[in-house]
Amino acid sequence: MFESLQDKLNKAIRTLKGKDRISDINVAATTKEVRRALVDADVNFKVAKEITDKIREKALDQKILIAVEPGQMFVKIVHEELTALMGGQAEAINIKGDPAVILIAGLQGSGKTTFSGKLAYMLKRQGRQVLLAACDIYRPAAIDQLKVLGEQIGVEVYSEPDSKNAVSIAQNAVAHAKKSGKKIVIVDTAGRLAVDEVMMQEVENIKSSIKPSEILFVVDSMTGQDAVNTAKTFNERLNFDGVVLTKLDGDARGGAALSIRQIVDKPIKYISTGEKMEALDSFYPDRMASRILG
């Protein structure tokens, strides 16, 4: 992932690297190249401009022109700014309540069901009692998909195959968890191919009826700028707590990871990097910045 952004950034920065001395002209040209690399990687233009303005200002402020290794110093500044852009600190999910409820929302195909399974597996490995709730009543295969995953990871899946009422399934799942001593319920909801009023209303209704302590918005990182727009729409309706970026094992250009925090002002909490149940990582902005810079 990020190969092309990595290449372009490194190419931009390389012009400063071996130099003993640089001028403000070098800094301006390199900064411009960095901006171009970010925009090419699908980073929102405004975000790319803001960050590169900061990089240039910081570079000149820190007397980079007379530094012993100006290139190294520049790389450090870019790293710091990329980290800050992605939120600075890693942020954990909120697990509160008995049981704690985690609501998963996003478009169809974004990777919600897969992620629900992965999160359940991660929490199970931490020794927690988890229940998965299948509330995607529109996609017939969704319930079976979750059941297969549940079996694979050894986590119970609550479903009502004959019900067409997602809110009541969610409520019943929470009641079932309480009765059976499960401490966390992960609720997988329905998605549509595009943002749709009926879907939004349904997720909102589920939210108000089961009061999750954490709402995670799942988005396919391959969708670039669209990922950011979809995040904005979901956030306006759901006021979610965190973002899950999926399919970062593909050739996503990375723009979503870099712009989403800035545009939506919600932290990325997990990244999903494959179809296997183990392919889930907590999101660390500094590690991601290091990965991007190679």
Q: Which residues are annotated as a binding site?
A: 106-113, 188-192, 246-249
Site string for ligand GDP, 175-204 (x = CB under 6 A): ----------------x-------------
Report if residue 113 touches ligand GDP, rule: CB under 6 A.
yes
Q: How many residues interact with ligand GDP (rule CB under 6 A)? A: 17
Query: What is the full DSSP assignment across 233-283?
Result: HHHHHH--SEEEEE-TTS---SHHHHHHHHHH---EEEEE-SSSTT-EEE-
Quickly count: other Cβ atoms within 10 Å of residue 179's Cβ: 8
The answer to whether 35 contacts ligand GDP (rule: CB under 6 A) is no
Is there a contact between 267 and 277 (Cβ–Cβ < 8 Å)?
A: no
Q: Which of 49, 50, 76, 109 binds ligand GDP (CB under 6 A)?
A: 109
Angle at 198 between CA 192 and CA 200, to 5 degrees: 75
Residue 97 binding ligand GDP, by CB under 6 A: no
Q: Between residues 100 and 280, which has the closer beta carbon with respect to ligand GDP?
A: 280
Determine which residue in the list 30, 44, 83, 114 makes contact with ligand GDP, applying CB under 6 A. 114
Is 275 exposed, middle or buried, given 0-12, 13-18 or 19+ CB atoms closer than 10 A? exposed
Q: Does the footprint of ligand GDP cover residue 144 (CB under 6 A)?
A: no
Indicate the residue among 86 and 134 with the shorter CB distance to ligand GDP: 134
Q: Torsion over CA of 36, 41, 44 and 49, rounded to 10 degrees? A: -30
What does the binding site for ligand GDP look like in residue numbers (CB under 6 A)?
106, 108-114, 191, 246-247, 249-250, 272-275
